[in-house]
Amino acid sequence: MSPASLLIPPEASTPPAYGAAPSDPSIHELPSAPPCPVESLVIIGSGPAAWTAATYAARAALNPIVYEGEISRDMIPGGQLMWTTEVENFPGFPEGIGGQDLMDRMRAQALRFGTRIVGEEIAKVDFTGHPFRLVTSTEKVVLAASVVIATGARANWLGLPNEERLARIGGGVSACAVCDGALPVFRNRVLAVVGGGDSAMEEASYLAKYASEVVILHRRDSFRASKVMVDRVLQNPKIRVEWNTRVVDVLGDDEITGLRVADVATGTERILEVGGLFVAIGHTPNTGFLDGQVALEPSGYIKMPQPWRTTTSVPGVFAAGDVMDPYYRQAISAAGTGCMAAIEAERWLAEREG
Ligand code: FAD
Ligand code: NAP
């Protein structure tokens, strides 16, 4: 990912053909908008969903502008694949491809067709009027005829310093078994999975195909996962459970060698030798900045009222990728819904313009 984002202030951009008068600037508590063009399509995010939406929208002459976000503790422009080394399951790369390389290519493809990119975050939105009003982290106001939200989700981590360090360098710590479990480094090893929900059960069952043994470490004495998933795990001879167990530290310099674990009741600590750690303690969708302007599921993911569509509760606002998908959470499915969102935005704008 090139660190130099192309920062284009709204007034320097080419006004799109679509252009309605700005709505009443007094709505909500957003800063008032200086005169600026109405963007046909603003895409928020920078993962596979955002760049695919941008490529499709740019090729459809929508002149899209992408707000790709900023580097923070949990997020990085380019999205979740920036944290990983090898991506082996994205079609078109039979030898695999580095996560950063893949994202660099997706961004370059969107740029090739004229996508404009701003290296800022969208901090607030106002979808109550039209055109929509978005406010960046530096308080710039952007007006948009249509919006694609592709802000992704972030895996929850245990918050241990060595966990983060080893995850960053591909040292055997991951939050996605489907993504990483088949990598040679995890084959025929003892692998630990932390968590007691459906994700942990799914990860453990998947990993059992490759590992010599999978150990589920759970902080309580019962799972919250559904019975069918629990039964599948408990019947698998390659999976065992260590109840009432907490991970205290991840051991290893360049590669994980083991875990320091503690008995929740007694606090007694011991070392568990493992060749991999998969953290499956839930995900958090990046929807906080929407502040109730788009209907969300109780879990925080964007509610999708129509099956197989990317429409949200607000006409003209579309959602793609992990921010609306708690189920698949893969780069290819994010890219697929990004494509759908751009096509839907194009058709929605065309219908409005009559
Ligand atoms: P994300 O990739 O989550 O990117 C969204 C980005 O948008 C954020 O990172 C941030 O930079 C930006 N953003 C967020 N909020 C704002 C805002 N308010 N304003 C502006 N920008 C914002 N999937 C696979 O298919 N294969 C794999 O091998 C694989 N490996 C993985 C390894 C790891 C370690 C992880 C964590 C995930 C992996 N995944 C893999 C899953 C895959 O990364 C995700 O499914 C995919 O990246 C989701 O894409 P997305 O476009 O929805 O958003
Ligand atoms: P989840 O249901 O919220 O479970 C998270 C698990 O992680 C819980 O067991 C929790 O322990 C544990 N946990 C949370 N924070 C922890 C911490 N800091 N340290 C140690 N353990 C911690 O999340 P999920 O499993 O990702 O599932 C999310 C949703 O997706 C659920 O609705 C689930 O049904 C659904 N899902 C469905 C499928 C499927 O049907 N195929 C697959 C995956 C997910 P406690 O139990 O003690 O709180």
Using one digit for the tens of pLDDT, what is the confidence trace for 99-112?
A: 999 999 999 999 99
The residues annotated as belonging to the active site are 176, 179-180
Whether the CB of 76 sits within 6 Å of ligand 1: yes
Bond preceding residue 131 cis, omega within 30 of 0? yes
> Among 19-23, 116-120, 301-305, whose mean pLDDT is lowest?
19-23
Q: Report the pLDDT value the prediction gives residue 320, as an integer from 0 to 100.
A: 98
Q: Report the pLDDT value the prediction gives residue 22, as an integer from 0 to 100.
A: 33
Mean pLDDT over 155-170 rounds to: 92
Residue 179 confidence (pLDDT) above 90 = no
Q: Residue 179 contacts by C-beta under 8 Å, 6 or more apart in sequence?
A: 84, 87, 89, 330
Report the distance separating Cα 199 and Cα 327, nearest Å: 10
Mean pLDDT over 203-209 rounds to: 95
What is the DSSP track for 316-348? TEEE-GGGS-SS---HHHHHHHHHHHHHHHHHH
Percent of the chain with pLDDT over 90: 80
Report the distance separating Cα 147 and Cα 118, nearest Å: 15
Q: Report the pLDDT value the prediction gives residue 34, as an integer from 0 to 100.
A: 60
Tokens 């404009």 — which residue? 116
Two tokens, residue 259: 């875990």
Ligand 1 atom having least distance to the Cα of 86: 28
User: 303 falls in which pLDDT band (50, 70, 90)?
Assistant: very high
Q: Report the pLDDT value the prediction gives residue 26, as an integer from 0 to 100.
A: 36
Whether the CB of 245 sits within 6 Å of ligand 2: no
Q: Whose CA is nearest to atom 8 of ligand 1?
A: 79
Residue 13 confidence (pLDDT) above 60 = no
pLDDT per position as a tens digit, 141-160: 999 999 999 999 998 999 99
What is the DSSP track for 90-139? STT-TT-EEHHHHHHHHHHHHHHTT-EEE---EEEEE-SSSSEEEEETT-
Mean pLDDT over 298-321 rounds to: 97
Q: Whose CA is nearest to atom 32 of ligand 1?
A: 84
Whether the CB of 173 sits within 6 Å of ligand 1: no
Report the distance separating Cα 219 and Cα 206, nearest Å: 21
Q: Report the pLDDT value the prediction gives residue 38, as an integer from 0 to 100.
A: 96
Domains of the chain: 10-154+283-353 (3.50.50.60), 157-279 (3.50.50.60)
Percent of the chain with pLDDT over 70: 90
Whether the CB of 300 sits within 6 Å of ligand 2: no
Report the distance separating Cα 41 and Cα 16, nearest Å: 9
